A and B are shown apart, each in its own frame.
Chain A
Amino acid sequence: MTSQVSRTAEQADGAVVGEQRGPGGTKDVRRLDRVIIRFAGDSGDGMQLTGDRFTSETASFGNDLSTLPNFPAEIRAPAGTLPGVSSFQLHFADHDILTPGDAPNVLVAMNPAALKANIADLPRGAEIIVNTDEFTKRAMQKVGYAASPLEDGSLDGYSLHEVPLTTLTVEALKDFDLSRKEAERSKNMFALGLLSWMYHRPTEGTEKFLRTKFAKQPQIAEANLAAFRAGWNFGETTEDFAVSYEIAPATTAFPPGTYRNISGNLALAYGLIAASRQADLPLFLGSYPITPASDILHELSRHKNFGVRTFQAEDEIAGIGAALGAAFGGSLGVTSTSGPGVALKSETIGLAVSLELPLLVIDIQRGGPSTGLPTKTEQADLLQAMFGRNGEAPVPVIAPCTPADCFEAAMEAARIALTYRTPVMLLSDGYLANGSEPWRIPELDELPDLTVQFAQGPNHTLEDGTEVFWPYKRDPQTLARPWAIPGTPGLEHRIGGIEKEDGTGNISYAPANHDFMVRTRQAKIDGIDVPELEVDDPHEARTLVLGWGSTYGPITAAVRRLRTAGESIAQAHLRHLNPFPRNLGAVLKRYDKVVIPEMNLGQLATLVRAKYLVDAHSYNQVNGMPFKAEQLATALKEAIDG
């Protein structure tokens, strides 16, 4: 069972604790500091649900955790095939962790395809629980196993548990009036029960969940509960599982407060509702379904009692169009999408730049180009967010760095949009969107004040003394123009995408005016007040690793490993990509070497090199998956030594 104990190379984010004998039971109970479990099966096997439930149990137990769902774009890919494998990885610990983990300590493989697709990620000594019922000759041939991997010795280096999960599930449900096929469907709950026993997870949450989910089909609810309990009991009684594990709650890792588990898309949706409340503006979401952003539309549409209007448009363009129309009317206008949708929305974003109205554009990035990898993660929309429009059309860009951080990022995007009357791009990604972690629920009085003042009356005096309203007369500090919403008497005005005269907003084709307006719009964005970049550099290192967005977890974990191994490395992470923090140039120049890991081919590096003439080194991965900490640590070590 050595695999259950953190190996030296992975100890950097936590210490191993000893083992002890369980007080009451006959089986050994060992204490671990952290575990990485991966559930894998066919995309119809319910692995995401199983992972979600295990996560909820783990969150309510008080461990720190981080998750990585990974599933095919097809709803039901051909059964038993490698492309059809769906998995859910969960890393949980008694201390502060940052990533879903590099290599699973435990793999639950519901069929040969799941084993084959995941075995390469497992370190020797890891535990593998396989559903032997699915290891038929045909199923093994389908994925290219000439001989049974359970018998040919290829798994000798692992701790293999052969469990006939399907048979045991069907047996456990024999008293129910269910067909064999129906009974088999509960095998994921049997697996969940077994793993819940192995790791001493609380079960009340899952029992309550199943009763609620199948409230209208009590027999199905009871069958799933029976399978879940049978899995637990199987672990307790069978000799195959001699040991169970305890991972203590991560009490010291967290500041005091009330916590919950939250995914990135949920945190983002909540952040938008919170921004609406803090701004005292109704929220209007115009959106078109697209993976992996649709959950934001789903979530917000459930909260109409907050005055939230959600509009599922006929296309991406109408989604942002409606949001912009609502913004003209005084709503907090939001559109949510992924990269292909941003491409379609580009012209409307340009219009919003020209109209200078607040608007939030949420891009949950996925693999590209074109349709790309809809369910996989990538950070390759940064340059699209920065430059993907005709003309000089600067847009502020911000990025959350963890799933829970999506809440604050949404509020920050709203602050910038409302203060500066501009569209704002928020770049999340598939990894943040679907991954989850514990979140300290903020007190409402901690939330920023986002209230805005609509224009109420004339803001300009003509030479003849007439008081008039000029829609493009700017606030001298922020360069923001007044937001005068329809229904305000005396401020009737017309705005449009044609170049406007400074001040009056009337159509103007005058060369000097256009030059001035282009520069002014740029100056407004360049002048946005963003916090200075903080650098974590306890040892006066010579190498800086700079990241943005969802690479925060893997980069931080890699930096911890390096420092534990005695290396000096500084770390900084950008939330604001446009404008950059004022001190970024000075920070970069303090280091001999700057390394920028990105899940693209070097987009931030391109920006940094262009703006600061710094020879930043790019480290890139575009395989649809987040970086692994060990891989990054190796790359950074090479940079330090190189």
Chain B
Amino acid sequence: MAETSTEGAGTIEALTLVPKAEGRQSMKDFKSDQEVRWCPGCGDYAILAAVQGFMPELGLAKENIVFVSGIGCSSRFPYYMNTYGMHSIHGRAPAIATGLASSRRDLSVWVVTGDGDALSIGGNHLIHALRRNVNLKILLFNNRIYGLTKGQYSPTSEVGKITKSTPMGSLDAPFNPVSLAIGAEASFVARTIDSDRKHLTSVLREAAAHPGTALIEVYQNCNIFNDGAFEALKDKQQAEEAVIRLEHGKPIRFGSDLSKGVVRDAATGDLKVVDVTADNESRILVHDAHAASPTTAFALSRLADPDTLHNTPIGVLRSVDRPVYDTQMADQLDTAIVQNGKGDLATLLAGGDTWTVVG
């Protein structure tokens, strides 16, 4: 990516406390000196390039950016970013990042995680980070497989998945990460695809601007253990029929010539895909990412067929304003000083009841 203006961040509410870069930045500034060691052909390369390419647009001082990850292929990500970074332990990145972000509001904190890291071993931390709405941007690389441990089924694998640990097919019903996040009170939930750099970047842009926790599910291809998992969404011809590109304020239509649309079923209140006709055109749902109720966003997240991936919405499903945890935490500290004065250690230690012994 070419050099980009550094004026963007000043207008982004979520980042007002983060110092700006002094000069112009380029993608190169965000590449670390470490050799990237993912398998050739891994979808992670595309995501890394998109993130490195997007960062100059934010124009933040790179010393005030931190990437925190857990364990898994995706979690090697921080090593390749020339920012501060921590490659922690399996599943715990949201917890560690919560401590960092809530104690340092001058930082832009990003979490990089995978479907196993975020939804299996770290499921608890993910849902609690989302409900708290800490100022974190969580990139969840979903390849529907365990890659680093060489190919076991993951919590997003389809039922019946044949893997090394499930030779007769997996029995677990998968999580839909977007549904899960909406159910966990997430204030920002989006989905994008590793190979669609333009879309991925647009989602990063919206996430960065969001005050609070943003969860971005990135469909990512593992070409070694689960190759082609998202082919239905990538192959140009198939994708036209399978992918629903959500844009706030626009009718939800897709397919060749936008022949399909999403309407609300009057009988059940649920959403369904219809062929657009002159009769029903006015009933096509207009996407409202900022709707206070999560109901419609959740219904959108359920449209996709988990096996064929047909009717998969991508884009920002939900983006609402909600109090931000770290802001409120800082406010409580300020309020405590207003109410009780700045803490005085000698007074604290003395307490109420004392007695004096004279020599």
| A interface residues, Cβ below 8 angstroms from B | 56, 59-62, 205, 249, 251, 254-262, 270, 273-274, 277, 282, 284, 286, 303-309, 311, 313-315, 317-318, 321-331, 333, 347-348, 350-351, 355, 441-444, 486-498, 506-507
Contact = CB atoms under 8 A, between A and B. Distances in A.
B84 A321 contact: no
Interface in B24-78: 32, 34, 61-66, 68, 71, 78
B332 A304 contact: yes
Interface stretch (B196-204, B223-231, B338-346): B338-346
B343 A307 contact: yes
Query: Which of A322, A330, A488, A493 has the most CB atoms of chain B within a 10 A radius of its CB?
Result: A322
A284 B99 contact: yes
B84 A486 contact: yes
A274 B345 contact: yes
Contact of B333 (A305, A325, A487): A305
Contacts of B336: 303-305
B3 interface: no
7 contacts: A256-B357, A258-B355, A306-B343, A315-B124, A325-B97, A329-B104, A494-B84
Nearest to A286: B99
Interface stretch (B86-94, B139-147, B268-276, B299-307): B86-94
Interface string B178-192: 000000000000000
A318 B356 contact: no
Nearest to B62: A492
Contact of B359 (A256, A258, A284): A256
A328 B66 CA distance: 10
B278 interface: no
Contacts of A329: 99-100, 103-104, 107
A487 B106 contact: yes
A324 B349 contact: no
Contact of A326 (B79, B82, B103): B103
Nearest to A319: B95
A11 B99 CA distance: 53
A331 B355 contact: no
A258 B354 CA distance: 6
Contact of A497 (B83, B88, B337, B355): B88
B33 to A, nearest CB: 9
Query: Which of B79, B99, B106, B357 has the most CB atoms of chain A within a 10 A radius of its CB?
Result: B99
A620 B336 CA distance: 47
A325 B69 CA distance: 12
B56 to A, nearest CB: 15
Contacts of B85: 492-496
Contacts of A254: 357
Contact of A318 (B92, B333, B349): B92
Contact of A260 (B66, B86, B351): B351
B353 interface: yes
B86 A318 contact: no
A318 B98 contact: yes
B333 A309 contact: yes
B128 interface: yes
Contacts of B82: 492
A321 B95 contact: yes
Contacts, number: 207
A496 B340 CA distance: 40
Interface of B: 19, 32, 34, 61-66, 68, 71, 78-79, 81-89, 92, 95-104, 106-107, 124-125, 128, 329, 332-333, 335-337, 339-343, 345-346, 348-351, 353-359
B104 A317 contact: no
A59 B345 contact: no
Nearest to A324: B96
Given A59-B355, A318-B125, A486-B63, A309 B337 contact: no
A262 B124 CA distance: 37
A490 B99 contact: no
Given A351-B88, A486-B84, A494-B87, A444 B100 contact: no
Contact of A324 (B79, B99, B329, B342): B99
B349 A325 contact: no
Contact of A492 (B63, B106, B353): B63
Nearest to B329: A309
Contacts of B332: 304
B358 A205 contact: no
A94 to B, nearest CB: 13
Query: Which of B63, B97, B329, B350 has the most CB atoms of chain A within a 10 A radius of its CB?
Result: B63
Contacts of B100: 325-326, 328-329, 486
A305 B348 CA distance: 11
B63 A494 contact: no
10 closest cross-chain pairs (CB), A and B: A496-B87, A325-B99, A322-B99, A321-B95, A306-B343, A304-B336, A256-B359, A318-B95, A325-B100, A325-B96
A316 B277 CA distance: 56
A246 B267 CA distance: 83
Nearest to B85: A494
A330 B89 CA distance: 20
A305 B343 contact: yes
A315 B98 CA distance: 13
A318 B128 CA distance: 10
Contacts of B333: 304-305, 307-309
Contacts of B83: 492
A59 B103 contact: no
A304 B92 CA distance: 26
Contacts of A315: 124
A61 B353 CA distance: 10
Contact of A311 (B68, B102, B341): B102
Contact of A328 (B86, B342, B348): B86
A277 B345 contact: yes
Contact of A305 (B62, B99, B337): B337
A325 B68 contact: yes
A615 B64 CA distance: 56
A442 B356 contact: no
Contacts of B342: 305-306
Contacts of B99: 284, 286, 311, 321-327, 329, 331, 333
Nearest to B69: A496
Contacts of B329: 309
A254 B341 CA distance: 33
Query: Which of A277, A321, A488 has the most CB atoms of chain B within a 10 A radius of its CB?
Result: A321
Given A347-B89, A493-B84, A284 B345 contact: no
Nearest to A57: B353
A257 B356 contact: yes
A507 B103 CA distance: 28
Contact of A314 (B128, B348, B353): B128
Contacts of B357: 62, 251, 254-259
B96 A322 contact: yes
A105 B213 CA distance: 60
Contacts of A274: 345, 349
A486 B19 CA distance: 12
B249 to A, nearest CB: 36
Contacts of B107: 329, 486-487
Contacts of A490: 63
A273 B345 contact: yes
A236 to B, nearest CB: 25
A321 B82 CA distance: 23
Contact of A487 (B63, B96, B346): B63
